[in-house]
Amino acid sequence: MTEEPTTVEEENTQIAPGLALAMAPEEPEDGFRRRGPDPLAALRSWQPRTRLGRMVMNGEILTYEQALATGYPIREVEIVDALLPEIEDDVLSVNMIQRMTDSGRRVRFNVLCAVGNKDGYVGLSICKGKEVASTIQKAITQAKLKLVPVLRGNGSWESAEGPGNSIPFKVTGRSGSTRITLLPAPSGKGLVIGDYGRRVLTLAGVEDVWSRSSGQTRSTINFAKATYNALEELSKTKVSDQVGDRLHITVGRRNA
């Protein structure tokens, strides 16, 4: 009598989308391999050090919204890369800072960087360092850890009924002497704001907005930071369900 071989069926465990991309075999396009640093290399060798990181690695958390709902602080950038692999970065400014010391001239770099997924999440960070490349990477990492959900809605009286890509109501952000006021705009108006504020709003997923500015608006850092602070103040606003339904307010991603 021969024994039949037993087959063990492995359970299909779900993993975060960023981890799935990192573990998938790389297929070069058109026979050529991509040059430059691999953004998923850190995920392949990631060893979680926090409780939230271990939950993401074990497949208990699959979306960024679930990570925020746990209440645990996000202290590992790999968590953001695993849950939001579509996030993009934009280096807004690189300034050289020179300081005269007893040993000679000291040169450092000041980097302003913004990140976002263009669908409800945006982050901003300013970092200083001795080298440009390492300082840019440091600024991107810090910006990913400072992501804030963006409230989007149809707050303009000129818009038709339905969800919009503007903001639900007026909000003001301030940085230094620069003050930026964002106002709801009808669909199709675009981003009526300065260049650096437009780049921050684009990463946040806001497509239509009016704006007013005052103070020293020629400052790149203060202008971008004031726009980011306005979006952060918007996320802290408590809105009732009735007002949220009337203005079609969406917090974070629309298709999470």
Domain ranges of the chain: 17-22+37-83, 88-147, 151-251
- Whole-structure pTM value: 0.86
Q: Under CATH, which number does the domain 88-147 receive?
A: 3.30.160.20
220-236 vs 195-204: helix axis angle to the nearest 10? 40
Q: Which residues in the chain belong to E strands, given as ranges?
A: 88-101, 104-116, 121-129, 148-149, 151-152, 171-175, 178-184, 209-214, 250-251
Q: Is 212 helix (H, G, I), strand (E, B) or coil?
A: strand
Please list the residues that pair with 113 across neighbouring strands: 91, 125
Q: Which residues contact 246 (CB under 8 A, 6 or more apart)?
A: none
One fold for both 88-147 and 151-251? no
Q: Is 97 helix (H, G, I), strand (E, B) or coil?
A: strand
What is the residue-level pLDDT of the chain in tens, covering all 256 positions?
Answer: 444 444 434 444 688 888 888 887 665 555 555 554 666 788 888 899 999 999 999 999 999 999 999 999 999 999 999 999 999 999 999 998 888 777 778 889 999 999 999 998 999 999 999 999 999 999 999 999 999 999 998 888 777 676 778 999 999 999 989 999 999 998 888 999 999 999 999 999 999 999 999 998 888 899 999 999 999 999 888 888 888 888 888 888 876 6
Q: Which residues contact 218 (CB under 8 A, 6 or more apart)?
A: none
Q: In the block, which residue shows the tokens 């009337």?
A: 246
- Indicate the fold that domain 151-251 takes in CATH: Ribosomal Protein S5; domain 2 (3.30.230)
